[in-house]
């Protein structure tokens, strides 16, 4: 494995500290953001955040604010995980934060199967969003593919199961499950973009340290 496991509960101070300065799955979409010319604001802001975290040693996204929808997702995640196990027969393991051994990157999984041969991405969205997934193309929603790709890159997993869960629907509609296979994802292309982004962060950190004499 090319990562170490930091067993810290998600959203705990230890978890935020483990993420600080590292490219994570939940922000992969920001790293990949593009515009016709120049740098996308989301990418720039995330790059600056990582630079700040590297220089201060302090996480910059630990406001602790959780909306009602976010709290519902947190509360129902165990139930969603059980629904996945019941649906697939897979036994799901849980970890804290996975820190890449070679690069300043990592991810927090919703679960893993068979020693990370497979990984799990759980979502507990609004009912209208869950229904949109059901009525869609049958693929992982495009907005989550960067996160799925990132997590497969960090873990080396052969596949990722994406599950959307909403217990407010009739039983047959409560789960939306899609599997993404490694061979169907451009892991090499993603890695190239991720490492280029991290090189930019490194360069900016080093430039500021050189300019100010900070060690």
Walk along the chain (215 residues) in steps of 10 and give the mean pLDDT of each run: 90 92 97 95 97 93 68 84 96 96 97 97 95 92 97 98 96 96 97 98 93 75
Residue with tokens 């996204």: 61
Q: State the Cα–Cα distance between residues 122 and 80, nearest whole angstrom.
A: 7
**Number of separate domains in the chain:** 1
Closest CA to 163 of 152, 147, 174, 150: 174
User: Residue 160 burial by CB count (10 A; 0-12/13-18/19+): exposed, middle or buried?
Assistant: buried
3-class DSSP string for 76-97: HHHHHHHHHHHHHCCCCECCCE
CB of 76 closer than 8 Å to CB of 124: yes
Q: What is the pLDDT of residue 7?
A: 92
Q: State how far the Cα of 152 lies from the Cα of 89, in Å rounded to an integer.
A: 21
Domain that holds residue 9: 3-212
Any idea what the CATH number is for the domain that residue 136 is in? 3.90.320.10
Among 112, 117, 114, 119, smallest CA distance to 150 is for: 119
pLDDT at 64 (0 to 100): 59
Q: What is the pLDDT of residue 70?
A: 72
């Amino acid at each position: 494995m090319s990562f170490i496991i930091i067993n810290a509960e998600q959203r705990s101070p230890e978890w935020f500290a483990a993420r600080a300065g590292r490219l994570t799955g939940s922000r992969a979409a920001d790293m990949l953001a593009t515009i016709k010319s120049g740098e996308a604001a989301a990418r720039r802001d995330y790059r600056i955040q990582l630079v700040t975290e590297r220089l201060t040693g302090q996480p910059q996204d630990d406001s602790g604010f959780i909306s009602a929808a976010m709290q519902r997702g947190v509360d129902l995640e165990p139930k969603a995980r059980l629904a996945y196990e019941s649906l697939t027969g897979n036994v799901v393991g849980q970890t804290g934060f996975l820190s890449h051994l070679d690069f300043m990157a990592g991810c927090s999984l919703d679960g893993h199967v068979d020693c990370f041969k497979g990984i799990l991405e759980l979502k507990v969205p609004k009912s209208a969003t869950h229904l949109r997934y059901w009525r869609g193309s049958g693929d992982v929603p495009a907005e989550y593919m960067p996160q799925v790709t990132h997590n497969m890159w960090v873990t080396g997993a052969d596949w990722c199961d994406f599950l959307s869960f909403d217990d407010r629907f009739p039983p047959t509609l409560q789960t939306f499950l899609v599997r993404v296979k490694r061979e169907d994802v451009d892991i090499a292309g993603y890695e190239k973009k991720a490492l280029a982004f991290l090189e930019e962060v490194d360069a900016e950190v080093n430039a500021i340290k050189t300019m100010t004499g900070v060690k």
